[in-house]
Chain A
Amino acid sequence: MKKWFKKNKWMAYLMPSFLFPLSITIYGLIMAIKESMTDNTGFSLQAYRALFYDHAFWASYLYSVRISTISTVLSLIIGILITRLLYQKLLKTEWKLLVWVPMIFPHFVWGYMVVLLLSQTGFISSIFNHFEWIQDFSQFPILLYEPFGIGIIVTYVWKEIPFVVLMLLPVYAQMNQQMPLVVKTLGGNEWNVFKTTEWPWVAPVLFETGIIIFAFILSAYEVPALLGTTYPKMLSVLSYEWFFYADFRYRPKAFALMVVVTMTIMTFVLIFFHMVNQKRYRMMKGNGR
């Protein structure tokens, strides 16, 4: 018995993390699925049927997926460009502190800053007016509370880029500095350098970061609740409202919506996981191992 424990020490070490928060998460999800399939008569798929016939739901769905995808892709691309260009600088403490600055503000506070900057009477509009590029605030484009979700996207991209940079920094710090030179002596250009010496190391971290950001944006309530329009609403906002409706008949629908969001995220995860795993397999083959 004692020997078994010694051999399987890892189980004891991992036990707390299995309890909190993994099992709570899985339990919560199972309960959500159960609630979504239960109404006052017992088992029923009525909530899903109502959801899929609801135009407001589909509008929200497209709106949310579009905002999440655009924000994620932009954050990843800009984040990797900045990291590539500046990682030697950013590894120094004073510059690293700069990247940490946006991290100390909650997302919704950052959203408020975006309002201060981008609203029609905001700081940027005010500057434009000061230099007489516009005569009146009504000439400044409407960037907030409009149906494309620009305000939400700007908030997320601005806030997630530092996160992407901080995730990628260790990868770039550990990278072999000689390899790019090898590619260059052999006549490769900047793209070849990236493709052959950086991408294999960066790709897994980039995919993981992308999934985390996508899942977060698709399901976070705070920013769209403050910066979103009344129609369409982001899925999380819709679900939160249904959950708190006085009319309890909306509850299964709120749960069903969150289950659909979860399925959407899991589908993306599976696709990416498949892609990364194929990559790894090819990499291992290439090394002759």
Chain B
Amino acid sequence: MVKKFVLVLLSILILIPVLLLIVQSLSKRWNYGHLLPKEWSLRAWDVLLSEQRLTEAIGWSYLIGILVIILNIFIGVLAGKALAHENFKGKSMIETMLILPIIIPSLAVAMGVHFTMIRWGIADHWLGVVVVHLIPTVPYSIKMFRNAFDQIGLKQEEQANSLGASKLYIFYSIYFPQLIQTIRAVVFLIFVISLSQYALTAIIGGGNVLTLAMIYFPYFSTVDDAVMSSFSLLFATLPVILFLLCEFVLRLMNPYKRKFR
């Protein structure tokens, strides 16, 4: 009984804001005191999609996000494997250290490296933005891959090893298929975090790197709630599209799915 009640409450608390955004973005006139808008229209979506810099910003957000994801998977898989399957001195200390990037304020770090990045010539450039986006993301990837490798264990690798499989083939045929669930979660989470970075992108990108957050922020002060709502929904759409794309790629790469279907 209590369980059911809480479950319903939880669903309401999670879904109401999202539904509100959808309704608001489709409303033409929504008078105070009315449960639903009086008139509906697609005007807000028209306004949003005719924003000149929008396509450009979506492009940049995807480019930066995908690069950040690829680097995250590369760094996370290697570190996760080592932390789960190797034993060495100072392991727990190193593990704690690897969380530091999400504990130490990334704002301080971005401000601190800003000058150095100017000297290296990657400030005001997407490359610098990709590098700073690694700060709030990689610790999560490492954690998730570490847990995944923990659960898979070492037995299967040992068996493949004794049968003479190469390192790469072991990864491809044993680890990769079992990591797909984790890769999905990482792609999703990391992309959303990368999309959410306004301050880091503004500091390092210096206004030259136009991600979606960079146009959303100035919009916030406009009074047009319908346009703001459609813009907010767009933020949730991008990760979903990327997720579907990634699903397709993973299916192509999975050595077991391809053959049997």
Residues of A within 8 A of B (CB): 8-10, 13-17, 20-22, 24-33, 35, 82, 85-86, 89, 95, 98-110, 112-114, 116-117, 121, 123, 125-127, 129-130, 137, 158, 162, 170, 208, 211-212, 215-216, 218-222, 225-226, 236, 239-240, 243, 254-255, 258-259, 261-262, 265-266, 269, 273
Judging by beta carbons under 8 Å apart, are A101 and B101 in contact? no
Instruction: Say yes or no: A222 contacts B240, CB within 8 Å.
Output: no
- Contact status A262-B108, CB under 8 Å: yes
Distance in angstroms between the alpha carbons of A273 and B93 in the assembled complex: 12
What are 21 A-B pairs at a CB distance below 8 A? A9-B82, A13-B82, A14-B83, A21-B134, A21-B135, A29-B108, A85-B2, A85-B3, A101-B14, A105-B236, A106-B192, A112-B228, A117-B17, A121-B32, A130-B34, A130-B35, A220-B199, A222-B199, A239-B107, A255-B112, A262-B108
Interface residues of B (CB under 8 A from A): 2-3, 6-7, 10-11, 13-18, 20-21, 24, 32-35, 71, 74-76, 78-79, 81-83, 86, 88, 94, 96-113, 115-116, 131-132, 134-135, 138-139, 142, 147, 188-189, 192, 195-196, 198-199, 203, 213, 216-217, 220, 225, 228-229, 232, 235-236, 239-240
A22 in contact with B88 (CB, 8 Å): no
A-B contacts besides A21-B138, A89-B7, A221-B107, 10 pairs, CB < 8 Å: A22-B98, A28-B109, A32-B108, A85-B2, A116-B17, A116-B21, A170-B147, A215-B104, A226-B217, A265-B105
Residue in A22, A29, A95 whose CB lies within 8 Å of B97: A22
In angstroms, Cα B213 to Cα A107, docked, is: 11
Let me know if B107 and A158 touch, CB within 8 A: no
With A25-B101, A102-B14 in contact, do A113 and B75 touch (Cβ < 8 Å)? no
Asked if A31 meets B115 with Cβ closer than 8 Å, knowing A10-B88, A101-B18, the reply is: yes
- In the bound complex, CA of A22 to CA of B109 (Å): 11
Closest to B95 in A: A14
Q: In the bound complex, what is the Cα–Cα distance between A24 and B101 (angstroms)?
A: 9
Chain A nearest CB from B239 CB (Å) reads: 5
A193, B192: Cα distance in complex, Å: 37
Query: Chain A residues with Cβ under 8 A from B217's Cβ?
Result: 108, 225-226
Contact status B21-A28, CB under 8 Å? no
Residues from chain A with Cβ under 8 Å of B102 in the complex: 212, 215-216
Q: Please name all residues of chain B whose beta carbon is closer than 8 Å to the beta carbon of A20 when the two chains form the complex.
A: 71, 75, 131, 134, 138
B101, A22: Cβ atoms closer than 8 Å = yes
B75 and A28 contact, CB distance less than 8 A: no
Whether B138 contacts A32 by the Cβ 8 Å rule is no
A104 CB contacts on chain B under 8 angstroms: 188, 192, 236, 239-240
Do B104 and A262 have beta carbons less than 8 Å apart? yes
Please give the distance in Å from A116's CB to the nearest CB on chain B. 6
Contact pick for A126, options B3, B10, B33, CB 8 Å: B33
Q: A17-B78, A104-B192, A109-B232 are in contact. Are A262 and B112 (CB under 8 A)?
A: no
A16 pairs with B78, CB closer than 8 A: yes
Contact assessment for A129 and B109 in the assembled complex, using a CB-CB cutoff below 8 Å: no
Q: Out of A13, A14, A215, which one reaches B103, CB within 8 Å?
A: A215
Chain A residues, CB < 8 A from B6: 82, 85-86
Q: How far does the alpha carbon of A158 sit from the alpha carbon of B14 in the complex, in Å?
A: 9
Task: Decide: B104 and A17 in contact? CB cutoff 8 A.
Answer: no
Within 8 Å CB of B32, what residues of A? 121, 125-126, 129, 137
- Decide: A222 and B196 in contact? CB cutoff 8 A: yes
The answer for the CA separation of A190 and B108 in the assembled complex, in Å, is: 44
Closest to B140 in A: A212
Contact of B108 among A127, A130, A208, A258 (CB under 8 A): A258
Is the Cβ of B86 less than 8 Å from the Cβ of A10? yes
Residues of chain B within 8 A of A265, CB atoms compared: 103-105
Report the Cα distance A215→B100, complex, angstroms.
10
With a cutoff of 8 Å between Cβ atoms, the chain B residues found around residue A218 in the complex are 105
Smallest Cβ-Cβ distance to A222: which chain B residue: B198
A14-B82, A17-B79 known; A29 vs B109 contact (CB < 8 Å) = yes
B85 to nearest A CB, angstroms? 9
A93 to B99: give the CA distance in the assembly, Å: 28
Bound Cα distance from A3 to B150, whole angstroms: 26
Closest chain-B Cβ to A155's Cβ sits at a distance in Å of 10
